[in-house]
Amino acid sequence: MIVAGVGILGGVAASQAAAAGGGVLRVRLGGDQAETRLVIDLDRAASAKVASDGAADRHVVVSLPGVNVDAGLQGAGQGLVRAWTVERGATGARLNIELSRNAVIKRRFLLPPADGVANYRYVIDLASSAAAPAAPSIAAPVPQIAAVKPPVTFISAPAPKPAPPLALKKIIVIDAGHGGKDPGAQGAAGVEKDVTLAAARALKARLERSGRYQVVMTRDSDVYVPLDVRVQIARRADADLFISLHADSGPDVNTRGASVYTLADRAVGRSAKLVTKDDWFMKASADGDRGVSGILFDLTQRATKNRSATFAEMLLDRVSEHQTLLRRSHREAGLAVLLAPDVPAVLLEMGFITSPEDEAILGDPGGRGRLMSAVGDSIDAYFAQQTRLASR
Ligand SMILES: [Zn+2]
């Protein structure tokens, strides 16, 4: 089913009016108690220096040399941030963050104007460093992912053995589309939510057999998982790749074939046209975690899209050996399900559940298994290529 989304700009949790003539335009926050993103909108490129990373006293201080701020900015917190200020210092702007709990800076980077945003953005991701991961703030059933990457904690208990080396396995998040009260598209013999779950399980098995991957499922049973929870799962898992599995539908039983979606350039501007027959992904911004949906916009960098497109082409290449492709099989859409700055994310429409041929493939364990094996091959190929690029 088509899964275009709008409202990626939907939730800006905290903002301040522009400081006229200043370098800092505003500050935005998103996220939760596990991970919080702070975005400083700037009217120019800037570098930053961390004066204090928060580990010592729950205060993060980041200086932005040469950046102006006309008047001090301040705002209420969200997630790991209790409060923040941006002050004018001797050499530039200075950001002070008061943390609500133990946390550290996980990553920070500058984003140039892109994707419909006219200004630069300096992004600071804070991650909880508390021993126990924060409980999900959403009441819906959330697959247990705490075990995937336990937080590294240093306690003073006797440690007879050195800690095992950090896992080098790539973390793949598999998202079985729909579920529970949301059946997805209807075929002659079954519904989309069952096909996607069966395929997700087959792909998980294929990936785990290789020994190279750790797989996180956004759902592993017939449950309804809101989209924002799926996004949170992927972010918390620190995914290296995200793949969402769906089955298409259409009025003509002769329409068949697989297709792959990645995030479009200027997704926000075009999204109104892309919302067609399935508003499933839109719900993330409508009733989801405002912080997360607001954050998504800043996660859609060009680099990510390039990687997503690279993977999408590899995926189609392998899938085409086992399944017909739609004529224009690599599509771009305003997918709300995309995530971290450097994580390729694609959505695979495995075929049309409304096509007898496609439904036969998707409904048969053998056919499904071959298709997911091809998907697994494309994931192998993608990471093999990334490794080659990295070792150049
Ligand atoms: Zn779908």
Q: Which CATH superfamily is domain 170-390 in?
A: Zn-dependent exopeptidases (3.40.630.40)
Count of other CB atoms within 10 angstroms of residue 191: 16
| d(CA 192, ligand 1 centre) in Å | 7
| d(CA 377, ligand 1 centre) in Å | 23
Backbone torsions φ then ψ of 138, nearest 5 degrees: -110, 140
| d(CA 198, ligand 1 centre) in Å | 14
| d(CA 347, ligand 1 centre) in Å | 9
Structure tokens given for 38: 């702070």
Confidence of residue 151 (pLDDT cuts 50, 70, 90): very low
pTM equals 0.53
| d(CA 237, ligand 1 centre) in Å | 23
Confidence of residue 331 (pLDDT cuts 50, 70, 90): low
Mean pLDDT of 352-378: 95
> Which CATH code of 3.40.50.300, 2.60.120.10, 3.40.980.10, 2.60.40.3500 fits the domain covering 24-128?
2.60.40.3500
| d(CA 225, ligand 1 centre) in Å | 13
| d(CA 186, ligand 1 centre) in Å | 10
Helix (H) or strand (E) holding 98: strand 92-99
| d(CA 246, ligand 1 centre) in Å | 4
pLDDT confidence of residue 369: 95
Contact of 215 with 205, CB cutoff 8 Å: no
Q: For 162-187, what is each residue's pLDDT tens digit?
A: 444 444 789 999 999 999 999 999 99
| d(CA 261, ligand 1 centre) in Å | 12
- Which conformational region is residue 211 in: left (phi greater than 0), alpha (psi within -120 to 50 degrees), or beta? left
| d(CA 106, ligand 1 centre) in Å | 33
Confidence of residue 281 (pLDDT cuts 50, 70, 90): very low
Contact of 270 with 334, CB cutoff 8 Å: yes
**383 or 4, greater pLDDT:** 383
| d(CA 179, ligand 1 centre) in Å | 10
| d(CA 277, ligand 1 centre) in Å | 10
| d(CA 316, ligand 1 centre) in Å | 18
Helix axes 290-299, 227-236, angle to 10 degrees: 60
| d(CA 249, ligand 1 centre) in Å | 9
Helix (H) or strand (E) holding 260: strand 258-263
DSSP category for residue 91: S
Domain boundaries, given as residue ranges, for the chain: 24-128, 170-390
| d(CA 174, ligand 1 centre) in Å | 14
Q: Output the CA–CA distances (angstroms, integers) from residue 314 to 2, 165, 271, in the order listed.
A: 21, 31, 26
3-class DSSP assignment, residue 88: strand
Confidence of residue 294 (pLDDT cuts 50, 70, 90): very low
| d(CA 385, ligand 1 centre) in Å | 30
What distance in Å separates the CA atoms of residue 359 and residue 211, rounded to the nearest whole number?
Answer: 30
| d(CA 346, ligand 1 centre) in Å | 13
Exposure pattern of 83-101 as b/e (b: 16+ CB <10 Å)? ebebebeeebbbbbbebbe
Domains 24-128 and 170-390 are alike in CATH topology: no
